[in-house]
């Protein structure tokens, strides 16, 4: 095991010292403390709270961030002799969690939080990390009206996640030790059933509860046997109806307009009639109790599309039901965007809400493609174009046929409490923000086949003021967690990515690519865990030259990128991370002002020789592996001005012939 720890503050390293660093790379870990600006956490509570509108009611909303390290959450009941239940600085000092660890042999470790008995659809959400495969941790025990009797039990047991099925239990999937998993349990007290999501994907639907209960009044977490140990974070409990709120009046029930909701009859005409009936002053199109098969629906201003938890809006299997759209723009991305299930153009104040499901029907055989060039023939689940004030919340998007959600040339957009689960083969991105500004993605889970969050720019407008917060990317089977650069003509500016979990991504954890002339400026990545990626970080300038009609070709810039409190483990590729500018025709196009602060990254190593330096970026498709194996086991820096490190640590698991880092043309 080799270690790199260096702390040159924010000054530039002199060439001689940098060369020595590249050769020796100081096998010392610097552990000096430093002052940091505290994060602004979500409000911790042991009781109900709501937003100003009276919705968003939480029975429990606890992230442990305001509790002193080593303390216990207020209002929780802690049990267990010989056990440890305490707040820990995991994963970061400003993003804490609750450790539940059985250290003795005479009692279980248990943490319980109770709340007033609540009926309806009660949702329990928690992020959990079991530290060992062996052992048994009940990571979510939902308690009935008495606050004692279990009605649902989800457990991590000897390498498997299990869920209760009545009095029995079912093995659902395997799990990895020391890896976060997101669990979402939805208990329906009327039906006496529950649904379980793991990492944003439904793994159990309408399962019977362990014992009937008229209401839910608590949740418990415990380590049952040695060496049971786990961490909990982001515990949220709410009743879905109260959390979402009622559909805004006037309400237009689609069944009153002739929709059947039987899952086989095409309801497109009836649904569109309901949409068209909404007055200019606004109203709600209400879907409930059924599966509504549809072709393209055209939404309009001052509209709420309210999909009740009992309803699914499902894409028709017929391609002819999704006509090609031609919005008035020369955006390069139109080559891949032409059809949609839900389409909005030139509208304002559009909301999708309700707690229900939008099913893109993307696993149909006609969509089983990987090769590019077919994207425009497949419907996007939600495509707002040149629109403003778009709100998507409390919706489960599943099985998209292509890119999942694509706001294009729009502004003032919010995604909140959204699940995107789209794993069929071929170009199944999660959320692609295209030339849009003032976009917020928060409390969202993305489980995707292709890029999970993929800002793109195909006109000069670019992407500005994109905020991604408290969001989990639980899988990108074929591509990247966060990627800017698939198409990158306009800017990516003044954007922040904070408190993110990125895991199980095949390519880059975070990829920044100015390939077509984009100016990337003032972008911050803070408090991010990357667990399993081809390369944790990747940044490049190249001159591919995709250009919108009538616009000049140009070479882009990267200036002001900060990586703060980033931890990456289980890196799968030995290629290393590339951070490079461009030298073309004798002209330098460097990355500028790139800083690493408290960045802790692990690489596999294992190369037996040092390969030659890679060529300059040309016009290829930008991806972390475009250069092949690098002449450095961790980082390859080239054409970078203003590179700085503060309290950084790098590990390489296997002996490697290459130095940790290479610095080429880094003044």
Q: Tell me: the pLDDT tens digits for 210-236?
A: 999 999 999 999 887 656 689 999 999
How many CB atoms neighbour CB 478 within 10 A?
Answer: 18
- Tell me how far apart the alpha carbons of residues 349 and 301 are, in angstroms, rounded to a whole number: 6
Q: What is the pLDDT of residues 626-665, one digit of tens each?
A: 999 999 999 999 999 999 999 999 999 999 999 999 999 9
Alpha-carbon distances of 29 from 157, 555, 597, 648, rounded to whole Å: 36, 39, 14, 8
Q: What is the pLDDT of residues 272-299, one digit of tens each?
A: 999 999 999 999 999 999 999 999 999 9
Cis peptide bond prior to 652, omega within 30° of 0: no
Name which of 44-48, 263-267, 604-608 the model is least confident about.
44-48
> Which pLDDT value is given to residue 279?
97
For the segment 302-312, the average pLDDT, to the nearest whole number, is 98
Q: Which of 447, 390, 436 is nearest to 413 (CA)?
A: 390
Q: What does the block give as tokens for 491?
A: 């800017």
Burial of 200 from C-beta contacts in 10 A (0-12 / 13-18 / 19+): buried
Q: Which residues of 158-169 are buried (b: 16+ CB within 10 A; e: fewer)?
A: ebebbbbeeeeb
Percent with pLDDT over 70 in the chain = 90
Contacts of 89 (CB under 8 A, 6+ apart): 69, 96
- Tell me how far apart the alpha carbons of residues 648 and 646 are, in angstroms, rounded to a whole number: 6
Residue 51 has pLDDT above 70, yes or no: no
**DSSP E strands: which ranges in 262-356?**
262-266, 283-287, 290-294, 297-298, 303-307, 311-315, 339-345, 348-353
Q: What is the largest CA-CA distance in the chain?
A: 78
Report helix, strand or coil for 187.
strand
> Which pLDDT value is given to residue 226?
55
- Tell me how far apart the alpha carbons of residues 15 and 109 are, in angstroms, rounded to a whole number: 55
What DSSP string describes 604-654? EE--SS-PPPPPPP-SSPP-GGGG-S-SSSSEEEESEEEEEEESEEEEEEE
Its pTM stands at 0.92
**Sign of the torsion angle spanned by Cα atoms 568, 571, 574, 578:** negative
> Which pLDDT value is given to residue 371?
59
Residue 2 has pLDDT above 80, yes or no: no
- Gyration radius from the chain CA atoms: 25
**Sign of the torsion angle spanned by Cα atoms 574, 563, 636, 454:** positive
Residue 26 has pLDDT above 70, yes or no: no
For the segment 537-562, the average pLDDT, to the nearest whole number, is 96
Contacts of 319 (CB under 8 A, 6+ apart): 366, 377
Residue 73 has pLDDT above 60, yes or no: yes
Q: Which of 529, 539, 541, 475 is nearest to 497 (CA)?
A: 529
Counts of helices then strands in the chain (DSSP H, E): 3, 46
For the segment 74-93, the average pLDDT, to the nearest whole number, is 86
- Tell me how far apart the alpha carbons of residues 192 and 208 are, in angstroms, rounded to a whole number: 6
Q: Which of 379, 365, 429, 423 is nearest to 398 (CA)?
A: 423
Q: What does the block give as tokens for 318?
A: 């017929």
Q: What is the mean pLDDT of the chain?
A: 90
Q: What is the pLDDT of residues 315-353, one digit of tens each?
A: 999 999 999 999 999 999 999 999 999 999 999 999 999
Q: What does the block give as tokens for 494?
A: 């003044």
Task: Indicate the DSSP class of residue 133.
Answer: S
Q: Which CATH class is domain 60-242?
A: mainly beta
Contacts of 458 (CB under 8 A, 6+ apart): 330, 331, 332, 333, 334, 434, 435, 487, 489, 490, 546, 548
> Which pLDDT value is given to residue 55?
64
> Which pLDDT value is given to residue 80?
72
Using pLDDT thresholds of 50, 70 and 90, give the confidence band for residue 569: very high
Q: Which of 621, 630, 636, 634 is nearest to 451 (CA)?
A: 621
Q: What is the pLDDT of residues 487-502, one digit of tens each?
A: 999 999 999 999 999 9
> Which pLDDT value is given to residue 57?
86
Cis peptide bond prior to 227, omega within 30° of 0: yes
For the segment 170-181, the average pLDDT, to the nearest whole number, is 96
What DSSP string describes 332-379? GGGGT--EEEEEEES-EEEEEESS-EEE--TTSGGG---STT-GGGSE
Report helix, strand or coil for 78.
strand
Using pLDDT thresholds of 50, 70 and 90, give the confidence band for residue 82: low
How many CB atoms neighbour CB 9 within 10 A?
Answer: 8
Residue 193 has pLDDT above 70, yes or no: yes
Name which of 91-105, 148-162, 584-598, 628-642 the model is least confident about.
91-105
> Which pLDDT value is given to residue 53?
45
For the segment 170-184, the average pLDDT, to the nearest whole number, is 97
Contact in structure between 259 and 270 (CB atoms under 8 Å): yes
Contacts of 167 (CB under 8 A, 6+ apart): 210
Q: What is the pLDDT of residues 249-274, one digit of tens each?
A: 999 999 999 999 999 999 999 999 99
Q: Which of 361, 273, 376, 260 is nearest to 316 (CA)?
A: 361
Q: What is the pLDDT of residues 367-395, one digit of tens each?
A: 887 556 789 999 999 999 999 999 999 99
How many CB atoms neighbour CB 268 within 10 A?
Answer: 17
Length of the chain: 667
From the centroid of its chain, how far is CA 479? 13
């Amino acid at each position: 095991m080799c270690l790199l720890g260096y702390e040159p503050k924010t000054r530039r390293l002199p060439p001689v010292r940098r060369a020595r660093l590249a050769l020796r790379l100081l096998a010392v870990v610097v552990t000096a403390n430093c002052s940091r600006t505290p994060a602004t956490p979500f409000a911790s509570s042991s009781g109900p709270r709501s937003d100003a509108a009276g919705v968003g009611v939480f029975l429990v909303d606890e992230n442990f961030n305001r509790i002193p390290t080593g303390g216990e959450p207020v209002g929780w009941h802690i049990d267990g002799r010989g056990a440890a239940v305490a707040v820990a600085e995991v994963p970061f000092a400003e993003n804490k969690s609750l450790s539940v660890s059985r250290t003795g042999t005479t009692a279980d470790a248990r943490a319980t939080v109770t709340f007033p008995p609540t009926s309806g659809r009660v949702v329990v959400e928690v992020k959990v990390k079991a530290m060992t495969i062996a052992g048994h941790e009940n990571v979510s025990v939902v308690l009935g009206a008495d606050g004692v009797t279990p009605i649902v039990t989800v457990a991590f047991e000897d390498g498997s996640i299990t869920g209760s099925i009545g009095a029995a239990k079912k093995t659902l999937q395997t799990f990895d030790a020391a890896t976060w998993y997101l669990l979402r349990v939805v208990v329906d007290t009327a039906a006496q059933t529950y649904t379980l999501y793991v990492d944003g994907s439904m793994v159990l639907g309408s399962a019977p509860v362990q014992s009937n209960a008229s209401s839910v009044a608590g949740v418990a977490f415990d380590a049952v046997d040695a060496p049971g140990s786990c961490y909990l974070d982001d515990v949220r409990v709410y009743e879905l109806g109260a959390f979402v709120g009622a559909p805004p009046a006037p309400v237009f029930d689609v069944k009153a307009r002739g929709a059947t909701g039987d899952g086989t009859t095409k309801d497109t005409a009836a649904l569109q009639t309901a949409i068209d009936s909404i007055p200019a002053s606004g109203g709600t199109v209400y879907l409930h109790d059924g599966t509504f098969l549809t072709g393209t629906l055209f939404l309009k201003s001052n509209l709420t599309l309210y999909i009740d938890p009992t309803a699914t809006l499902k894409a028709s299997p017929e391609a002819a039901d999704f006509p090609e759209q031609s919005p008035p723009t020369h955006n390069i991305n139109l080559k891949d965007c032409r059809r949609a299930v839900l389409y909005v153009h030139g509208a304002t104040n559009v909301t999708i809400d309700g707690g229900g499901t939008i099913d893109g029907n993307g696993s149909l055989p006609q969509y089983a493609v990987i090769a590019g060039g077919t994207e425009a023939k497949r419907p996007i689940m939600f495509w707002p174009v040149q629109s403003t004030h778009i709100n998507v919340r409390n919706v489960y998007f599943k099985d998209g046929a292509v890119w999942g959600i694509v706001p294009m040339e729009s502004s003032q957009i919010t995604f909140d409490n959204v699940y995107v689960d789209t794993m069929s083969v071929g170009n199944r991105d999660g959320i692609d923000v295209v030339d849009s500004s003032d976009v917020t993605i928060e409390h969202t889970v993305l489980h995707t086949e292709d890029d999970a969050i993929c800002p793109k720019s195909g006109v000069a407008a670019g992407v500005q003021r994109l905020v991604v917060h408290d969001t989990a990317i639980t899988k990108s089977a074929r591509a990247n967690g966060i990627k800017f650069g698939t198409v990158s003509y306009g800017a990516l500016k003044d954007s922040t990515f904070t408190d993110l979990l990125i895991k199980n991504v095949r390519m880059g954890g975070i990829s920044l690519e100015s390939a077509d002339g984009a100016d990337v400026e003032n972008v911050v990545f803070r408090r991010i865990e990357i667990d399993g990626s081809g390369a944790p970080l990747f940044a490049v300038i190249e001159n591919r030259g995709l250009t919108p009609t009538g616009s000049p070709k140009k070479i882009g810039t990267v200036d002001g990128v900060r990586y703060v409190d980033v931890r990456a483990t289980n890196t799968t590729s030995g290629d290393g991370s590339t951070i490079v500018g461009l030298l073309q025709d004798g002209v330098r196009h460097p990355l500028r002002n790139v800083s690493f602060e408290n960045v802790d990254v692990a690489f596999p190593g294992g190369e037996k020789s040092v390969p030659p330096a890679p060529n300059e970026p040309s016009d290829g498709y930008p991806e972390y592996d475009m250069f092949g194996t690098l002449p450095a086991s961790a980082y390859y820096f080239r054409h970078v001005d203003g590179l700085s490190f503060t309290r950084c640590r790098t590990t390489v698991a296997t002996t490697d012939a290459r130095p940790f880092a290479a610095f080429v043309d880094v003044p």
